[in-house]
Amino acid sequence: MKLKRILPFAKQLIMSTVEPGDIVVDATAGNGHDTLFLTELVGEHGHVYAFDVQEEAIQATTRRLAEANKLDKATIILDGHENLHFYIQQEVSAAIFNLGYLPGSDHEIITRGDSTQRAIESLLQLLKVGGIIVLVVYHGHQGGKEEKDSILHYVQNLSQSFVHVLSYQFLNQQNDPPFIVAIEKMKEQK
Protein backbone atom coordinates (compact mmCIF):
# COMPACT_ATOMS: atom_id res chain seq x y z
CA MET A 1 0.00 0.00 0.00
CA LYS A 2 1.22 3.48 -0.83
CA LEU A 3 0.25 6.32 1.51
CA LYS A 4 -1.82 8.97 -0.25
CA ARG A 5 -0.94 12.62 0.07
CA ILE A 6 -3.45 14.84 1.87
CA LEU A 7 -5.51 16.21 -1.04
CA PRO A 8 -5.78 12.90 -2.95
CA PHE A 9 -6.86 11.19 0.28
CA ALA A 10 -9.49 13.88 0.92
CA LYS A 11 -10.85 13.33 -2.59
CA GLN A 12 -10.83 9.56 -2.09
CA LEU A 13 -12.93 9.92 1.06
CA ILE A 14 -15.45 12.08 -0.78
CA MET A 15 -15.52 9.80 -3.85
CA SER A 16 -16.21 6.77 -1.67
CA THR A 17 -19.34 8.46 -0.31
CA VAL A 18 -20.89 10.63 -3.04
CA GLU A 19 -23.17 9.10 -5.66
CA PRO A 20 -24.82 10.66 -8.72
CA GLY A 21 -27.88 12.65 -7.69
CA ASP A 22 -26.54 13.57 -4.23
CA ILE A 23 -26.55 16.99 -2.59
CA VAL A 24 -23.06 18.02 -1.38
CA VAL A 25 -21.37 21.06 0.14
CA ASP A 26 -18.12 22.85 -0.58
CA ALA A 27 -17.91 24.86 2.63
CA THR A 28 -14.91 26.91 1.43
CA ALA A 29 -15.23 27.45 -2.32
CA GLY A 30 -11.88 29.21 -2.69
CA ASN A 31 -10.73 29.02 -6.30
CA GLY A 32 -13.41 26.47 -7.21
CA HIS A 33 -11.34 23.31 -7.57
CA ASP A 34 -13.36 21.28 -5.05
CA THR A 35 -16.64 22.74 -6.29
CA LEU A 36 -15.87 21.56 -9.82
CA PHE A 37 -14.76 18.15 -8.52
CA LEU A 38 -18.03 17.80 -6.60
CA THR A 39 -20.17 18.77 -9.61
CA GLU A 40 -18.56 15.92 -11.53
CA LEU A 41 -19.36 13.45 -8.74
CA VAL A 42 -23.03 14.41 -8.30
CA GLY A 43 -23.71 14.13 -12.01
CA GLU A 44 -26.73 15.32 -13.94
CA HIS A 45 -29.27 15.22 -11.13
CA GLY A 46 -27.20 16.18 -8.08
CA HIS A 47 -26.30 19.60 -6.76
CA VAL A 48 -23.41 21.38 -5.03
CA TYR A 49 -23.74 24.27 -2.57
CA ALA A 50 -20.50 26.26 -2.42
CA PHE A 51 -19.83 28.93 0.21
CA ASP A 52 -17.18 31.59 0.59
CA VAL A 53 -16.94 34.96 2.35
CA GLN A 54 -14.81 36.59 -0.34
CA GLU A 55 -16.19 38.00 -3.57
CA GLU A 56 -12.88 37.09 -5.22
CA ALA A 57 -13.48 33.41 -4.40
CA ILE A 58 -17.06 33.54 -5.65
CA GLN A 59 -15.89 35.01 -8.95
CA ALA A 60 -13.09 32.44 -9.33
CA THR A 61 -15.45 29.54 -8.59
CA THR A 62 -18.09 30.90 -10.97
CA ARG A 63 -15.49 31.27 -13.74
CA ARG A 64 -14.13 27.76 -13.21
CA LEU A 65 -17.60 26.19 -13.34
CA ALA A 66 -18.65 28.25 -16.36
CA GLU A 67 -15.52 27.16 -18.27
CA ALA A 68 -16.37 23.52 -17.50
CA ASN A 69 -20.06 23.97 -18.41
CA LYS A 70 -21.09 23.02 -14.84
CA LEU A 71 -22.52 26.30 -13.56
CA ASP A 72 -26.05 24.86 -13.46
CA LYS A 73 -24.90 22.10 -11.09
CA ALA A 74 -23.99 24.48 -8.25
CA THR A 75 -25.36 27.27 -6.12
CA ILE A 76 -22.47 29.58 -5.25
CA ILE A 77 -23.15 31.61 -2.11
CA LEU A 78 -21.33 34.69 -0.81
CA ASP A 79 -21.71 33.92 2.89
CA GLY A 80 -19.88 32.11 5.66
CA HIS A 81 -20.25 28.36 5.98
CA GLU A 82 -21.64 28.84 9.49
CA ASN A 83 -24.84 30.07 7.77
CA LEU A 84 -25.30 27.07 5.49
CA HIS A 85 -28.46 26.01 7.34
CA PHE A 86 -30.20 29.10 5.90
CA TYR A 87 -29.61 27.83 2.35
CA ILE A 88 -29.83 24.04 2.55
CA GLN A 89 -32.80 22.03 3.79
CA GLN A 90 -32.16 18.78 1.88
CA GLU A 91 -30.23 15.76 3.07
CA VAL A 92 -26.52 16.09 2.30
CA SER A 93 -24.20 13.17 1.55
CA ALA A 94 -20.84 14.94 1.93
CA ALA A 95 -19.09 18.21 2.65
CA ILE A 96 -15.53 19.41 2.27
CA PHE A 97 -13.66 22.26 3.94
CA ASN A 98 -10.21 23.66 3.18
CA LEU A 99 -9.47 25.66 6.31
CA GLY A 100 -7.08 28.58 6.31
CA TYR A 101 -6.99 31.39 3.75
CA LEU A 102 -7.63 31.78 0.04
CA PRO A 103 -4.36 31.08 -1.81
CA GLY A 104 -3.06 34.17 -3.58
CA SER A 105 -5.35 36.44 -1.56
CA ASP A 106 -5.43 38.43 1.68
CA HIS A 107 -3.94 36.22 4.41
CA GLU A 108 -5.78 38.24 7.04
CA ILE A 109 -9.10 36.72 5.91
CA ILE A 110 -9.08 33.23 7.42
CA THR A 111 -11.50 30.57 8.55
CA ARG A 112 -12.07 30.45 12.30
CA GLY A 113 -12.77 27.64 14.73
CA ASP A 114 -16.07 28.98 16.04
CA SER A 115 -17.67 29.48 12.62
CA THR A 116 -16.31 26.15 11.35
CA GLN A 117 -17.71 24.40 14.42
CA ARG A 118 -21.16 25.94 13.81
CA ALA A 119 -20.99 24.76 10.19
CA ILE A 120 -20.10 21.22 11.29
CA GLU A 121 -22.99 21.22 13.77
CA SER A 122 -25.43 22.22 11.03
CA LEU A 123 -24.00 19.67 8.62
CA LEU A 124 -24.31 16.86 11.15
CA GLN A 125 -28.05 17.58 11.27
CA LEU A 126 -28.31 17.56 7.45
CA LEU A 127 -25.89 14.69 6.80
CA LYS A 128 -27.34 11.32 5.82
CA VAL A 129 -26.28 8.25 7.75
CA GLY A 130 -23.08 7.07 6.06
CA GLY A 131 -22.30 10.61 4.91
CA ILE A 132 -18.96 12.30 5.51
CA ILE A 133 -17.51 15.70 6.34
CA VAL A 134 -13.87 16.17 5.32
CA LEU A 135 -11.81 19.02 6.73
CA VAL A 136 -8.40 19.75 5.25
CA VAL A 137 -6.76 21.74 8.03
CA TYR A 138 -4.09 24.23 6.98
CA HIS A 139 -2.73 25.66 10.21
CA GLY A 140 0.66 27.17 9.41
CA HIS A 141 -0.59 30.77 9.36
CA GLN A 142 -1.55 33.46 11.86
CA GLY A 143 -4.67 32.16 13.65
CA GLY A 144 -4.27 28.66 12.26
CA LYS A 145 -3.12 27.03 15.49
CA GLU A 146 -6.11 28.41 17.38
CA GLU A 147 -8.53 27.10 14.75
CA LYS A 148 -6.79 23.71 14.69
CA ASP A 149 -6.99 23.37 18.48
CA SER A 150 -10.63 24.46 18.53
CA ILE A 151 -11.66 22.00 15.82
CA LEU A 152 -9.72 19.10 17.33
CA HIS A 153 -11.22 19.75 20.76
CA TYR A 154 -14.72 19.85 19.28
CA VAL A 155 -14.47 16.68 17.15
CA GLN A 156 -12.73 14.67 19.87
CA ASN A 157 -15.79 15.25 22.04
CA LEU A 158 -18.39 14.10 19.50
CA SER A 159 -20.18 10.94 20.61
CA GLN A 160 -18.68 7.80 19.08
CA SER A 161 -22.14 6.25 18.97
CA PHE A 162 -23.22 9.03 16.59
CA VAL A 163 -20.10 9.65 14.46
CA HIS A 164 -16.65 8.25 13.76
CA VAL A 165 -13.83 10.81 13.59
CA LEU A 166 -10.57 10.15 11.74
CA SER A 167 -7.37 12.18 11.73
CA TYR A 168 -4.98 11.58 8.82
CA GLN A 169 -1.62 13.28 8.93
CA PHE A 170 2.04 12.88 8.21
CA LEU A 171 3.89 13.22 11.50
CA ASN A 172 7.45 13.70 10.26
CA GLN A 173 6.92 16.60 7.81
CA GLN A 174 8.23 20.10 8.52
CA ASN A 175 6.50 23.49 8.47
CA ASP A 176 3.02 22.69 9.78
CA PRO A 177 1.80 20.39 6.99
CA PRO A 178 -1.95 20.20 6.46
CA PHE A 179 -3.89 17.24 7.78
CA ILE A 180 -7.37 15.77 7.44
CA VAL A 181 -10.16 15.38 9.93
CA ALA A 182 -12.98 13.22 8.57
CA ILE A 183 -16.33 12.81 10.32
CA GLU A 184 -18.56 9.93 9.25
CA LYS A 185 -22.16 9.92 10.50
CA MET A 186 -23.03 6.48 11.85
CA LYS A 187 -26.64 7.09 12.99
CA GLU A 188 -29.09 9.86 13.75
CA GLN A 189 -28.51 11.61 17.04
CA LYS A 190 -31.41 11.37 19.45
**Structure confidence by residue, pLDDT tens digits, 26-49:** 999 999 999 999 999 999 999 999
Each residue of 82-118: b (16+ CB within 10 Å) or e? bebeeebeeebbbbbbbbbbbeeeeeeebbbbebbbb
Indicate if the pLDDT at residue 66 is higher than 80. Answer: yes
Q: What is the pLDDT of residues 91-138, one digit of tens each?
A: 999 999 988 766 767 667 667 778 999 999 999 999 999 999 999 987
Q: Which pLDDT value is given to residue 6? A: 87
Query: In the chain, what are the domains?
Result: 6-185 (3.40.50.150)
pTM of the model as a whole: 0.94
